[in-house]
Amino acid sequence: MAEPAGPAPGAVPGYKRLSVIVPVYNERNTLPEIVRRMRNVELPIDLEVVLVDDGSTDGTRALLPQLADSTVHVVKHDRNRGKGAAIRTGLQNATGDAVLIQDADLEYDPDEWPKLLAPLLKGRARVVYGSRFTGERRAMPLSSWLGNRLLVAAANVLYNTTLSDLETGYKLFDRQLLDDLALTADGFDFEPEVTARVLRRRERIYEVPISYTGRDRDEGKSFTWRDGALALWVLAKCRFTQ
């Protein structure tokens, strides 16, 4: 495994700007509200929001011009390419030295950002995950809970770690580290791929408890058992191949 190339021991990185990448696909009903909440968060560093519309067909695109301003930038895919592809496009258009992934629905509360940022700004870690299983949350369907537990257990065994939440939508990264991971996933397999590549580098993932208000399938939840099977495959593949 490659050794991490982090800051010198005892050094506290001087982060200047947080880039929040928001993959958007058919979120007409929630996007204006999540953008409003993001604008209202008070941060100790500058904020940049990159909305990546991933080929929405429900009228979301008509909302984008009124949401854009000097802080909120809009990028569009001409067709639906998947969450991972949207995140990579967002990264290409982001200028911050810290990068956070934010879903466009209302499952994750931007008021949690300062809690996520604290370990990064203090130099305690270069990767911070918000754990849904250690904070307040709306109860998940049993199938979702079991799927998450299975994936976490597999990751912990394969990578000798003690994560509590692999599929969390709140993942915060040092920009240089994220660029170095050479991610390729196009869909929901972004989540296991980025986690696996971070752990392969022996980087510590710092977890903080977050609140979570999950959606049911009839409210738009789109992660399926097929995505779970793919996630298991990605975890194993990244562990045993270069």
* Burial tier of 186 (Cβ tally within 10 Å: 0-12, 13-18, 19+): middle
- CA distances (Å), origin 36, targets 86, 110, 147: 21, 10, 32
- Stretch 72-93: mean pLDDT, rounded? 98
Give the per-residue pLDDT at 106.
94
Q: The pTM is what? A: 0.88
Please state which CATH class domain 17-240 belongs to: alpha beta
Q: Is residue 84 over pLDDT 90?
A: yes
Q: What is the pLDDT of residues 156-165, one digit of tens each?
A: 999 999 999 9
pLDDT classification of 136: cutoffs 50, 70, 90: low
What is the Cα Rg of the chain in Å?
A: 17
Euclidean distance between CA atoms 92 and 82, whole angstroms: 16
Q: Is residue 2 over pLDDT 50?
A: no
Give the per-residue pLDDT at 226.
78
Residue ranges in 122-210 assigned as alpha helix (H): 142-159, 175-180, 190-200
pLDDT classification of 137: cutoffs 50, 70, 90: low
Determine which of 7-16, 102-111, 181-190, 224-233 has the lowest per-residue pLDDT on average.
Answer: 7-16
Give the per-residue pLDDT at 1.
44
Euclidean distance between CA atoms 59 and 42, whole angstroms: 30
Q: What is the pLDDT of residues 35-46, one digit of tens each?
A: 999 999 999 999
Check: CB of residue 112 under 8 Å from CB of residue 40.
Answer: no
Q: Is residue 225 over pLDDT 70?
A: no
- Domain ranges within the chain, ordered by starting residue: 17-240
Residue with tokens 């394969």: 158
